[in-house]
């Protein structure tokens, strides 16, 4: 039972354009969502998060949008840069104290 | 401040052998975690700890054991290694459950 799903295994974007990574979840108890970025041969690093009381959180070039009714969140990267090429994982937790549940990841490739 | 460190980086085991994956953090985090990542999959929680002396099972604990005698260290023990345990193992720590976690660089384990 995959509670957090990233249905696109890969995404290719031109440098300077917008990258949109999507994530769907099934558990309505999830109330905190995070995005992690992972380079090859490294551990994931925290990127941005959002609480369920918000529908948007922005940090520089990165914005996360949360649509609770659709149980969907997305990460927007504007403008995309070649250094953004990595695997992006979304994760969710319930009751702001539950364990993190990770999606399968989306590999983003930003081409110069 | 080294963050989360893991040793070894790579290891090849024969079926039936045992080994301990080491994890240490210097951020004084109470919460520590072990995950495994299989190709094309997200991170699956193996075990976690909420403090020294307290551990609990995650999603995929079978074939593993952990201990937490100090705040800093959280070793993962594999007994009777099996090919199904071939994976990349990540250790992580956090200040609270369900929030931002800091990951180590990973240990790539192959069981043949």
* Nearest one of A31, A21, A30, A32 to A3, comparing CA atoms: A30
**Looking at CA atoms only, how far is residue B88 from chain A in angstroms?**
10
Q: Do B106 and A41 touch (CB under 8 A)?
A: yes
How remote is the C-alpha of B81 from its chain's centroid? Answer: 15
For A34, the closest chain B residue by CA position comes to B100
Contact B69, B51 (CB under 8 A): no
Dihedral sign for Cα A24, A20, B105, A60, please.
negative
CA quadruple B38, B44, B49, B55: dihedral sign = negative
Confidence (pLDDT) at B41? 85
Chain segment B28-81, per-residue pLDDT in tens: 999 999 999 998 888 999 999 999 999 999 999 999 999 999 999 999 999 899
Q: Could B43 and A89 be called an inter-chain contact, meaning their C-beta atoms sit closer than 8 Å?
A: yes
Contacts of A40 by beta carbon, 8 Å cutoff, 6+ apart: none
The strand pairing partners of B59, in sequence order, are none
Whether the ω angle into residue B7 lies within 30 degrees of 0, i.e. cis, is no
Per-residue pLDDT of chain A (112 residues; tens, 9 = 90+): 789 999 999 999 999 999 999 999 999 999 999 999 999 999 999 999 999 999 999 999 999 999 999 999 999 999 999 999 999 999 998 875 568 899 999 999 999 9
Q: What are phi and psi of B85, to 5 degrees?
A: -90, 5
Q: Residue B69 is encoded by which pair of tokens? A: 């005698």
The pair of three-digit structure tokens given for residue B12, joined into one six-digit string = 């090849």
**Cα–Cα nearest to A17, from A66, A60, A76:** A76
Pull the structure tokens for residue A94. 């319930």
Closest residue in chain B to residue A33, using alpha carbons only: B99
């Amino acid at each position: 039972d995959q509670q957090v799903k990233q249905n696109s295994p890969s995404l290719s974007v031109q440098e300077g354009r917008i990258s949109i990574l999507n994530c769907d979840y099934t558990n309505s108890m999830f109330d905190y969502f995070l995005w992690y970025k992972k380079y090859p041969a490294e551990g994931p690093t925290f990127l941005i998060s959002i609480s369920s009381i918000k529908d948007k959180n922005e940090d520089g070039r990165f914005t996360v949008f949360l649509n609770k009714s659709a149980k969907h969140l997305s990460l927007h990267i504007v403008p995309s840069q070649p250094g953004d090429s990595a695997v992006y994982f979304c994760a969710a937790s319930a009751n702001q104290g539950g364990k993190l549940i990770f999606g399968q990841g989306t590999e983003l490739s930003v081409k110069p | 401040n080294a963050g989360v460190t893991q040793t070894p980086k790579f290891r090849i085991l024969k079926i039936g052998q045992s080994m301990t994956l080491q994890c240490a953090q210097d951020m004084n985090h109470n919460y520590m975690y072990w995950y495994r990542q299989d190709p094309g999959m997200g991170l699956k929680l193996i075990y976690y700890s909420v403090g020294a002396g307290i551990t609990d099972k995650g999603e995929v604990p079978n074939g593993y054991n952990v201990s937490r005698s100090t705040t800093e260290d959280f070793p993962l023990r594999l007994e009777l290694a099996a090919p199904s345990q071939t994976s990349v193992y990540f250790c992580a720590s956090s200040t609270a459950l369900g929030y931002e976690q800091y990951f180590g660089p990973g240990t790539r384990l192959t069981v043949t």
